[in-house]
Amino acid sequence: MILRKTKDMEKIEYENWKANGQKYLRELQAFLDKVENIENEELRKEIIFQMLKCDNELTLLAEAMFEKYKSDREKSLKEYEDD
């Protein structure tokens, strides 16, 4: 049996995402504030660049997971409709 999300459930998930997004932005700002105090310009740039590479990899991983979830959900719905 497949449970379909209600609008209320989607709203709660959206609100949780929004809160998490704001937390991410606060953490990013805290990181940049700390890096700003590094006097060695080359080291500061290397640290920021490495953090951006990590952030990009995490984004790619999350996007792949969302695509797999979407694909699995569509497959389940199709199987449910075929029954």
- Token pair 């409709």: residue: 81
Q: What's the pLDDT tens digit per position in 1-39?
A: 444 555 665 665 656 666 678 888 899 899 999 999 999
**Residues 38, 44: contact at Cβ < 8 Å?**
yes
Is 43's pLDDT higher than 90? yes
Domain tally, the chain: 1
Domain hosting 75: range is 7-82
Domain membership of residue 2 (yes or no) is: no
Position with higher pLDDT, 34 vs 72: 34
Own/partner long-range contacts of 68-73 (Cβ < 8 Å, ≥24 apart): none
CA–chain centroid gap for 8, Å, is 21
SS3 2: coil
Which string of b and e fits 15-41 if b means at least 16 CB within 10 Å?
eeeeeeeeeeeeeeeeeeeeeeeeeee
Is 57's pLDDT higher than 50? yes
Domain membership of residue 26 (yes or no) is: yes
